[in-house]
Structures are given as C-alpha cells and as structure tokens.
Amino acid sequence: MNENIMKPRWIAMASPRRFRTRGTTLSGIYRGDYVQAFGVYFWKRVEIPRGTLRLRIEACGLGFFELCLDGHKIGDRVLDPAPTDYRKRALLTVFEPPVPAPGSHDLLAVVGNGRYFPAFGGDDPKLFCRVLVDVGAGFRPAAVSDETWRAGHGPIRANGLYFGEIYDARIPIRPERWKRAITVRGPRLGRDEIPPIRVCETLLPRSVRKPEAGRRIVDFGRNFAGWVRLSGRGRAGARITIRHAELRDEAGEINVSPNQGAAATDIYIFAGSGRESHEPRFTQHGFRYAELTGSEDVLKSLRVEGRVVHTDVAATGRFGCARPIIEAVHRNVRRGLLSNFMGMPTDCPQRDERQGWMADAHLAAEAAILNFDMAAFDRKFLRDIRDAQDRRGSIPDFVPAYLARFAPADPAWGSAYVTVAWLLYWYYGDRETLEEHFDGLAKYVDFLAANARGHIIESLGKYGDWCPPGSIAPKKASLALTSTWYYAHDTIFLARIADALGRRDEAKTLKARAAAITDAFNKRFLRGGQYEVPRSGPVDLLPGQTSNALPLWLGIVPDAARRGVFAALIKAVADDQDYHLDTGILGTRYLLEALSLGGRTDAAFRIVSQKSYPGWGYMVREGATTLWERWEKIGSGGMNSHNHVMLGSVDAWLYKYLAGVRCAAPGWAKAVIEPPRLEGCPSARASVAAGGGTLAASWTNEPGEFRLDVRVPAGTEAEVRIPLPSPRASVEDEKGLVRDGRKSAAGRLVIKLRGESRRFRIKK
C-alpha cells in the first residue's frame, strides 16, 4: 500500500436531500429561511490486519457526527465536535476503540447539520476521517476519507439544532445502493482538547398526565438540556411526536412560547420490529415538559426517560448552606451552567438562539470555575474569540461569529476576552494562555481606545446593564457609563496581565492609560457624592445600584468620595429597594461583592435570601429549577428564557463571601478563608480544587459558640481570618487555646496554614 497517496480528504454526498424551515426568532438573531440537509451516511469497508495492537480513528463530521464500527457506536460522545467558526477551524476527534478481529469491518459515519448550514456560513454535511492501525511499528493508515467511500441517506431525515429530528426506522442502511462520495473543500483542523459533550444523567418522569387518548404530557421535574429517550412497540409506520417546553399553562398544557422560532419537535417512526428504543443524535432541547402524541396503543407501551446532555466538565467545587433558599439558588445556578455548556458557553438551550453571547459567558465565568474544571473549556472559548477578532481588534457580541452583523461588541460583552483570560490565570495559574492571547487582548483594548473620545466611550454601547427589574433595556446606568467602566476594567486587567508576563513597558503604558480613563470617568459621572444615573424627571433623585457598585468594586472611586458613594449604594439597596436588587446583568455581577468589600455582607445576604420579587429567591418560590433570563416570571412569547446563566454570578459570591473561601494569588498559591459575621444564617461550607488538593471551609454559628473547620492543601498558603465576637472571645482548636495567630484591626484572629486541617471553636 502506498502510504504517500493515503491522505484523507473532506467528502460529502452529491446533492443530498434538503428541507427548509423558517428562522423566525424574536431575539433578532436570524430572520429568514434555514435550508439544511437530511442526515448523511458515509460507509467504508476497512481491513484490519493480523497482529494489530491498537486502532485509532481521527475524524470530524460537520456539523455533528457519530461513528459506528460493525453497527456499534464508537465511544459515548454526542453532538460532536464542539462548535467553532468553521471558516477558521474545525475540531478533530480522536477515537481509540477496542481492536476488532482481523479482517473486513464496516465503518459508518453519520453526519447531521448542527451549526454547519448555509445561514450560518456552512454547507452540506461533510466528513474527514483517517483510520490508523499499529501492528508494532507505530500507526499507519488503513483507510482515509476519499472518493472510494459511499454516501447516502438513512433513517435520520430532517434534523437541526432548533428544528428537532425525524427518524424513520423503516428505512434501512444499504451502502450498496449509495453513490460514491465526492471530495470537497473543508476547514483547517485542530485537535479537540475540551471534555466531550455526553449524556451525563438520566431522569425518570416525575409525573405523566393524560389529557386525552393519544396524548401524554410528561414532567421530568426540572428544566434541563438534552432530549427524550423512548422505548416502545408500534406497527410499521406508527409515529410518536415529541414536543418540548420549559413551561405548562394553567390548564396543564405545554407552553412552547419560550421556544420562539424553534420547532423543538422530534418524530420517531416505528419499523414494527418488536420493542424499539430511540433517542435523537443531532439536536437538543431545553425543557422540563414533553408532550408525546401518537396512537393510544403505542403510548401505553412507551417507557420514556429524560437524557441530560452537556459538556462533561468535572465537578471540582462544592457549596452548602443551612438556609434552604440559598441551597436552591446555588442548585439552580449549577443546573443553568451545565445546561449551557455545549462545547461553548451558550445563553440558553431552548429557543432558536443558543449562541455564545460573551456577556453571559464572562459574568458567570467565575461561578463556573468555582464549581467545575473549566480550564480546557475556557481556553477553547478564548480561541473562538480570537478567531472572531478582525484586523482592527474588534470582536463581536457572540462567538463563534456565525452572523457578522453583531460586531463590534458592546464593551460589556467584549470584556469576555480580557476577563476570561485573567480568570484562567488567577484560578489555574495559566500563564501560557496569557502569552498566547496577549497580542489579541492588546489589540482589543487598543480598539476601545480608538473609539473613545477624551477616554469616554459613547459609541459602542448597545445593551449595557441588560434586563434590570421591569425592563430589558438598562434603567439606572447609562450606556456611556457602563461602556467606559468596562474600558477602564479591561485596561486595568490587561496591565495586570502585562505585569504577570514581565512586560514592564506595556504594563507601565497601560497603567498610565488606566489612570487617565479613571480620571475622565470620575469627572464625567461622579456628581454630588454618587455616580450619575439617567433621570426620568425632576423628582427622580434616587441613587443607582449599578452606577455606584461598578466603580466601588473596581476601586476607582477617589478616596475622598468613597464613603459617600458607598453610603449612596447602601441607600439604594436598603432604603429605596428594601434589600432587593435594582440591577441588570452587569450590576448584579458586582453589587454583592461591592457590598461585601465595604463590610456589608449582611446586606448582600439579605438580597440573596429574599423570596419576594425581584431576586433569585423569588425565582425559587415561583418554581424555578434553573435561572431565568428576566427577574420577572414571564410565560409569553417575549424574551423569557427560563434556563439562562447571565444572572448566575451570585454563585461566586456564595463561595467567596458566604462560605468565605477566596483565591488570593494565581493558581491558589495563596488563599483567604474568612467566614462572615452574619446573623440569620446558621452555617455555610465550600470546597474547591486548589494547590494540588482540596481547600475547604465549613462554619457553624450557634448560640454561644462559632465553629470553623478548615482544610488547606500543601500547595496553598491560607490566611484564616477567624471572627472574634468580642475582645475577650477565646479561640480553641483540638490542642486547646490557640496562640499562633495575631489579632487584626478588623477584630479577627489571623492564622497562616499550609498542608493541614484544623477545627476552631470561638466562645462568644
């Protein structure tokens, strides 16, 4: 065999059958027709030589693909590969299945549309594949994708990310009747290094309702991303139609309004061959409820399960609290994050959008890192951002950039580039990623500078403090304020990145620019002891939560004004809103931390534990099992996703300030454990992956005694700050009275720990 000619090519089916759906999203993402292809099957007979020690298959099918060897699926990956901008690159998956017996074997690839279709800049389904065998002298090609493969259609018919999937089990797979594949052009390939998307959990129905013969409504008990697996009996040609929804109406019928233009409908047509099992391959849905329609005899035979699907990131953090409402908020954030890890961070899993909106991603990025191993996932996302950057440094609002009109980004959205890069360094010590992206980050910040006038950005803002209570557009923070604040934020953090990389000259220049932006920001927006907000009339005098929280968190308030600005923030929270939020997604990210940094964790805790509108507890009270997009409970066809992550930043505050576990140096080289002085919360606990082990803290506040248990790995130096309720309070551990600490000006006993666990008791 001449190995020099065994180079794989991209292959496709000549003139596949196509179908058309309407893209009618109300989100403004796309209006027009989606033209997509039926599922395409590629077949090749592969010879496995005697003495084969290892088998490796390297493949990419666009948009999604699966491989089968002799009729059995290889691996457990689904919705593979992770989405990218296919004009720039696609990701190659490597499989190493068990070696079959020597001889001829059938290799089948099934390819669906995914995000690779004309409206998003793609084409018909295509495949790249290389089969390698090792007979003792390293891998060599046994088969590659070329014109010798056959291509045709099979049981997977119309399929689409938003549309759903039609599977006709009556249609056999008969490669002998197919035509030869054609070679086509395809994108550059890179290795897929992120965890795969998998079926990570299976849910049984909580209840099944029968509104009439031939119809069932299944409640899986919570909102999630994935699909329904069914098993049942039906005559040949009998069909089951499954519609998916997040909500039910008052009559108990499914409410598909949040799906907007997504049909979100799967159809299975029985072969009539006894008991049949099926689950979709090339679509996914965001739902809690499924409506199944078909003949009554088929429905009676059905067993249905909910298949929970997401990128299989490892859980590395744990949080708990004695207050059930706080536990529920945390649980909803985690579920919302997982529902939107689909090879990229999406905004929502249910409607005809599901894009990598960058504000959603970076606002929840720290919460994600504290809960999961996000290192590889976030590195891939940063490369998606870099792929979308133009020569001026501009980047779009969402990536991969399937639609060009969303550039340039609102600065609050574009900040994802700098923010996620910094968080990777801060939590994982990932200096290499900073090196890889420094030039792109600098180009982006220079782009912001080029669009500023007198260091104020008036022209780039589009969304700003998105979705405050009672509104979609921002109310109490101007676009100029949020855009300029993010310009300052990104410049300050890019200066820190330059310092971390030893780029002293760049750091010096960036710090000077940041000082100039800060000065201009304060001159423009600081008025009468508070930062200005848009006014609706002469009696509108209330201070803003977002406008004051942002500069306080970033530390850019002049020293002489800090006390007054913080007082204005407290007034806006406590007096004007009775400890409720009045922030959109930007202010929500920074409000709680700004309060804690100012010594008012108690105020932040009251906000988080509210059960009345607006707040996370209100969502829980109203039955939410994931986070909503809006503070309001909305069931109409407007912007009303019930599984969104952009308000999920609260979970970072739960770890950092309620449990009191904070990273204090890159890669957790240093940490702070500082439980709050807080009434109304009996206990909280958290653990995170740090220092090559687990960093954990658990505190309990009981009458007469405060207990704190800590565990510090050898790779982390932790400063434990133990609250002292009075100057005479005593602190004991397992060995008796603690004498190895020092008292701080803040009234805490400070102890340094490394590689040990200790249990403290503080007598009140």
Chain centroid to CA 694: 24
Phi, psi of 386 (to 5 degrees): -60, -40
88: left (phi over 0), alpha (psi -120 to 50) or beta: alpha
C-alpha 357/C-alpha 399 separation (Å) is 7
Count CB neighbours of 594 within 10 A. Answer: 25
Region of 103 on the Ramachandran plot (φ > 0 left; ψ -120 to 50 alpha; else beta): left
Q: How far apart are CA 690 and CA 740, in angstroms?
A: 24
State the residue for tokens 């807080």: 678
Residues 6 or more apart whose Cβ sits within 8 Å of residue 178: 41, 43, 150, 151, 152
Q: In 3D, which of 376, 508, 510, 380 has the Cα closest to residue 441?
A: 510
Residue 165 is a catalytic residue: no
User: How far is it, in rounded angstroms, from Cα 650 to Cα 366?
Assistant: 10
Which DSSP category does 341 fall into? Answer: B
b/e 628-664 (16+ beta carbons within 10 angstroms → b): bbbbbbbeeeebbbbbbbbbbbbbbbbbbbbbbbbbe
236/453 Cα distance (integer angstroms): 69
Task: Count CB atoms within 10 A of the CB of residue 453.
Answer: 9
| CA–CA distances in Å: residue 56 to residues 72, 94, 105, 192, 395 | 16, 7, 14, 15, 37
For residue 49, CA distances in Å to 68, 130, 132, 544, 588 come to 19, 16, 11, 72, 61
Residue 62 β-bridge partners: 126
Nearest to 164 by CA among 241, 236, 239, 232: 241
DSSP state of 5: G
E strand residue ranges, 270-372: 276-278, 285-293, 303-311, 318-321
Q: Which entry of 246, 353, 366, 532 is annotated as an active-site residue?
A: 353
Given strand 736-737, what is the order of strands in its sheet? Answer: 318-321, 683-690, 693-702, 705-712, 756-763, 730-733, 736-737
Q: How far apart are CA 181 and CA 686, in angstroms?
A: 55
d(CA 620, CA 257): 21
Q: State phi, psi for 90 to the nearest 5 degrees.
A: -130, 165
- Tokens 């908020």 -> residue: 329
Catalytic, 353? Answer yes
Cα 44 to Cα 77, 376, 435, 748, distances in angstroms: 21, 33, 43, 70
Q: Would strands 693-702 and 683-690 be described as parallel, antiparallel, or unpaired?
A: antiparallel
Which is the catalytic residue, given 58, 291, 593, 629?
629
**Between helices 559-570 and 585-597, what is the axis angle to 10°?**
110
DSSP alpha helix (H) spans, 389-457: 411-414, 416-428, 431-450
Q: What is the dihedral of CA 750, 752, 758, 760, to 10 degrees?
A: -10
- For residues 648 and 331, what is the distance between their CA atoms, to the nearest angstrom? 11
- Is the C-alpha dihedral spanning 477, 481, 485, 486 positive or negative? positive
Determine the distance from the C-alpha atom of residue 683 to the mean position of all C-alpha atoms in its chain, rounded to a whole number: 29
Minimal CA–CA distance to 549: which of 471, 473, 649, 452? Answer: 649
| Residues designated as active site | 353, 629
